[in-house]
Structure 1
Amino acid sequence: MRINSAMILAAGLGTRMRPITETLPKPLVEVAGKPLIAYSLEALDRIGVTSIVANVHYLAPMLTKWLKDWPGAEIAISDETETLLDSGGGIVKALPQLGPYPFLVLNADTFWLEDPDAGSDNLARMADQFDPAIMDIMMMTARLDQATGHTGAGDFTIDPEGRLARYRGSGDPVIYAGALVLSPHIFDAISEPKFSLNRCFDAAIESGRLFGAPMLGHWLTVGTPAAIGEAEAAMSAYLNGSASSTGHRPNR
């Protein structure tokens, strides 16, 4: 299906990234010469999504100015300066700007490199595969061997039909790779202003309506200053490896 709008979750405090984030919001921390949030915006631009909302909280004026100066789509701001609403509450606050139809949600502080042999971008495939008749949420997932910067055993398991369940120590774990397609009706029964998206994940699992979209490429999360160099080295290795094996580099 056609996805016309997207939310970028950009209101986090970035405390683990100190001292860099003492003067800079985490979405503006640069990796390989580019702010983290720029990777999400470029991914949306590649599939033609131009209606974008980003929430802001920590060092909001700095991030808001950067977003206003972004040369691509015009980005609406959902201001959480007064109260940080967590991942789910932040989306609900922005729903009037996002519209009534399924939309994308991206994390501002994780990103991925596309597989040059895939034929289409990960977000485009998610939009094509999302079926609101049987799905409430489609989540991009990555295997552990596709990830740099992730710590922990994994988040979910995926069955042959694509349905996700929480990883409980058995089966092959996958990581939530920071991108979703979701139907806004999943928030209808929630009245609290502040809550985590994990609540929606669990509800969708219970009803069999949380599906995974295995990503093609390499996923990166950068949680600390020391992890920046690790991410840049992994990016260089992936891009150079892809170029040598295919004759061209993946989109960045």
Structure 2
Amino acid sequence: MTGLPDISDMRAMILAAGLGSRLRPITDKTPKPLVKVAGRALIDYCFELLDVADIRHVVVNKHHLAQQISAYVEAVPGFDIALSDETEALLETGGGVRKALPLLGSAPFFVLNSDVIVRDSGPSSLQKMYARWQPEEMDILLLLHPVETAVGYAGQGDFHMEESGRLIRRTKGKPAPYLFTGVQLINPRLFDGMPEGAFSLNLLYDKAASTGRLYGVTHEGQWLHVGTPDALAEASRIIEGA
């Protein structure tokens, strides 16, 4: 038993409030989630993952060039979309999700970053995560990708993964084989006791890891980093050639 609602009743949040500073001057006029890669807005790759998994209830937050975000997502067909307004203050990933909790409900929910591209090569990653969820052993389940096959990534990875799926953060200065894709399934109870205002979801990962309740599953497909204009061009070339 997963302890989750039917997948068609699951909720998800797309994080779309970032400034996209490294993509300036493109993001001076276009919010990063709407920047085109291979002819599609970055946020469309999130909607594609949700569509394939049959998840229709979605919250999208907005801050930078917020009206463009509103106009775009309100025109996306096939989803029940609510907007979480952060125009008064940027709340980072954790604060943004916390502000949206009334729209996300009391059951665990998915969170997707809109500033990277996750493309599945096989069955739905979100359905795989849904099936793997075990409330008696985990509070967060992260989708991880092997560093060696990531596109446009120059980091040292984020996590080691035990055979059980339990995650251990990499030691500073030493590489780890997996990076976090930006896709996760979170138990909202972890937000109890979190600070007001802006904070990173990394606080929740540390909280879950401290009790051995941070888990991961491996992504099968493409993961593309699009943080710079050169990375955008490379991602477009790869997707169009796939």
TM-score of the aligned structures, taking structure 1 as reference length: 0.90
Partner amino acid, structure 1, of 2:151: T
Q: Which residue of 2 aligns with 1:72?
A: 78
CA RMSD of aligned residues (A): 1.3
Aligned partner (choices 126, 133, 136) of residue 123 of structure 1: 126
Change (3 A) 1:164 1:50: same
Contact between 1:146 and 1:217, CA under 8 Å: does it hold in 2?
Answer: no
Contact between 1:14 and 1:25, CA under 8 Å: does it hold in 2?
Answer: yes
Q: Which residue of 1 aligns with 2:194?
A: 190
Contact between 2:156 and 2:176, CA under 8 Å: does it hold in 1?
Answer: no
Tell me, what secondary structure is at the counterpart of 1:219? strand
Change (3 A) 1:172 1:154: closer
Aligned partner (choices 156, 159, 164) of residue 162 of structure 2: 159
- Deviation of the 1:71 alpha carbon: 1.4
Q: Which residue of 2 aligns with 1:23?
A: 29
Partner amino acid, structure 2, of 1:152: G
Partner amino acid, structure 1, of 2:214: L
Tell me, what secondary structure is at the counterpart of 1:208? coil
Partner amino acid, structure 1, of 2:213: R
Q: Which residue of 2 aligns with 1:245?
A: none
Partner amino acid, structure 1, of 2:39: G
- Deviation of the 1:236 alpha carbon: 4.0
| Whole-angstrom CA distance in 1 between matches of 2:58 and 2:232 | 27
Deviates more, 1:192-201 or 1:228-237: 228-237
Partner amino acid, structure 1, of 2:69: L
| Whole-angstrom CA distance in 1 between matches of 2:240 and 2:119 | 11
Structure 2 gaps, min length 5: none
Tell me, what secondary structure is at the counterpart of 2:196? coil
Structure 2 residue 216 is matched with structure 1 residue 212 = yes
| Whole-angstrom CA distance in 2 between matches of 1:57 and 1:10 | 8
- Deviation of the 1:170 alpha carbon: 4.9
Instruction: Give per-residue Cα distances to partners, 1:70-127, cap 9 Å, x unaligned.
Output: 1120310000000111100100100000000010000011122211xx3x21111001
Aligned partner (choices 9, 22, 25) of residue 15 of structure 2: 9
Q: Which residue of 1 aligns with 2:182?
A: 178
| Whole-angstrom CA distance in 1 between matches of 2:186 and 2:105 | 12
| Whole-angstrom CA distance in 1 between matches of 2:175 and 2:36 | 36
Q: Which residue of 2 aligns with 1:41?
A: 47
| Whole-angstrom CA distance in 1 between matches of 2:217 and 2:23 | 29
| Whole-angstrom CA distance in 2 between matches of 1:149 and 1:141 | 16
| Whole-angstrom CA distance in 2 between matches of 1:146 and 1:178 | 16
- Deviation of the 1:172 alpha carbon: 4.2
Structure 1 gaps, min length 5: 240-252
TM-score of the aligned structures, taking structure 2 as reference length: 0.93
- Give the share of equivalent positions with the same residue, in percent: 44
- Deviation of the 1:197 alpha carbon: 0.3
Matching of residues 78-117 of structure 1 within 5 Å: 78-115=84-121
Partner amino acid, structure 2, of 1:98: L
Structure 2 residue 205 is matched with structure 1 residue 201 = yes
Partner amino acid, structure 2, of 1:58: H
Instruction: Give per-residue Cα distances to partners, 1:122-148, cap 9 Å, x unaligned.
Output: 111001101111100000000112211
- Deviation of the 1:235 alpha carbon: 2.4
